[in-house]
């Protein structure tokens, strides 16, 4: 069975990648992931706040989107000290490149388009095969309009692609008012890949302690419908590789994303829950599905149910909304 896949020009043995998270910051775990068949790893993000560049633009965003800073500090609680600074990050890239023979994708998290982009060049020099931009900007100030937020994203892409020659992907937020237009703007700015979607952690309130608590729950398969829909819509509409992220836990989840048009499928929660060897089970399951459906390669299956190829594209759109709601049959309600 031919599972070979191309992602932003990188040749992968199969479409299964480990998305940014703690496993990818542990060399031994990455070795285990590679042994289990994972075809690429994305490192946890190097955060702009960690780089602590005294950039005017960072000041601007931190002041105007004040809550964003607090949010990003509590964004990934309990992640230990594996992200303690840029030098350790660069050293980790170099160590992984020696330890495994799969592409290593660095992830940068920031909001400004100056200062920290220097690190894009440094991760490239350290051996990263590609860069994923995890732009995490919560515009809490009502004076910050969508245009400014979109412009900040494209400016970051623009400055990073001018700094490096390795491919750059953007891990997109699902909260743009026009995701397809935004996807195109990012690609026009130079993004070679789009990761759909970033999964933002929503804080909770503890009523007993009267505190706001950062809450990180691992995903479930139910959450993959949002990326599934947008992968299907964007397939063939933007000239970039598409990576599906969020809620991919099983071989069936992975197969759905490929059918919708994903070039690669990424996992974090499933690997944290089940351990690195889960990748082998997912790949075995994927091969079984391909055999059962009589596809001789993953390429044949890719995008078969994308918007462009689907006989009922309305199923991915609002046209189906009323039909779906109307067709709902309540169960368990009292007569
Ligand atoms: C503990 C943990 C740490 C994470 N760290 C990062 C990170 O540093 N950068 C990033 O872009 N995403 C990070 N993520 C998000 C994942 O890469 C992924 O996009 C998200 O968990 C959704 O995928 P999943 O459903 O497979 O978990 C993290 C997720 C978890 C659970």
pLDDT tens figures, 213-268: 877 789 999 999 999 999 999 999 999 999 999 999 999 999 999 999 999 999 99
What domains are there in the chain, each with its CATH number? 5-307 (3.20.20.70)
The pTM for the full model equals: 0.89
Ligand 1 residue neighbourhood (C-beta within 6 Å): 19-22, 44-45, 76, 79, 107, 134, 171, 199, 216, 218-219, 245-248, 267-270
For the cut 80, the answer to whether the pLDDT of residue 54 exceeds it is no
Mean pLDDT for 58-70 is: 45
Report the mean per-residue pLDDT for the chain: 86
Q: Determine the pLDDT at residue 112.
A: 63
Q: Determine the pLDDT at residue 49.
A: 63
Over pLDDT 70: what percentage of the chain?
A: 83
CA 215, CA 285: separation in Å to the nearest integer? 32
Mean pLDDT for 169-190 is: 96
Compute the distance from residue 28 Cα to the ligand 1 centre, in Å: 19
For the cut 50, the answer to whether the pLDDT of residue 272 exceeds it is yes
Q: Determine the pLDDT at residue 261.
A: 97
Compute the distance from residue 272 Cα to the ligand 1 centre, in Å: 10
Q: Determine the pLDDT at residue 66.
A: 41
Question: Which of 249, 252, 251, 247 lies closest to 284 in space, CA to CA?
Answer: 251
């Amino acid at each position: 069975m031919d599972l070979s896949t191309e992602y932003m020009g990188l040749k992968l043995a199969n479409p299964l990648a480990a998305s940014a998270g703690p496993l990818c910051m542990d060399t031994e775990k990455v070795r285990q992931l590679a042994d289990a068949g994972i075809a690429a790893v994305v490192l946890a993000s190097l955060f702009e706040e960690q780089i602590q560049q005294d950039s005017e633009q960072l000041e601007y965003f931190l002041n105007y989107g004040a809550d964003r800073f607090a949010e990003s500090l509590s964004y990934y609680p309990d992640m230990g000290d594996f992200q303690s600074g840029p030098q350790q990050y660069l050293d980790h890239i170099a160590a992984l490149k020696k330890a495994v023979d799969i592409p290593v994708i660095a992830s940068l998290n920031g909001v400004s388009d100056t200062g920290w982009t220097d690190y894009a060049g440094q991760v490239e020099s350290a051996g990263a095969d590609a860069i994923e931009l995890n732009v995490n900007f919560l515009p809490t100030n009502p004076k910050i309009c969508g245009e400014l937020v979109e412009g900040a994203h494209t400016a970051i892409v623009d400055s990073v692609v001018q700094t490096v020659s390795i491919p750059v992907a953007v891990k997109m937020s699902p909260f743009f008012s026009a995701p397809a237009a935004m996807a195109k703007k990012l690609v026009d700015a130079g993004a070679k890949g789009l990761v759909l979607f970033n999964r933002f952690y929503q804080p909770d309130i503890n009523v007993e302690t009267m505190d706001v608590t950062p809450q990180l729950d691992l995903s479930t398969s139910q959450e993959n419908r949002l990326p599934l829909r947008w992968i299907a819509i964007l397939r063939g509409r933007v000239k970039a590789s598409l990576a599906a992220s969020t809620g991919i836990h099983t071989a069936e989840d992975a197969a759905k994303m490929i059918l919708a048009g994903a070039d690669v499928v990424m996992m974090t929660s499933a690997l944290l829950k089940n351990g690195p060897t889960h990748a082998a089970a997912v790949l075995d399951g994927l091969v079984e599905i391909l055999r059962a459906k009589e596809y001789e390669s993953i390429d044949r299956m890719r995008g078969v149910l994308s918007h462009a190829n689907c006989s009922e594209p309305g199923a991915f759109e609002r046209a189906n909304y009323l039909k779906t709601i109307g067709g709902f049959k309540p169960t368990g309600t009292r007569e």
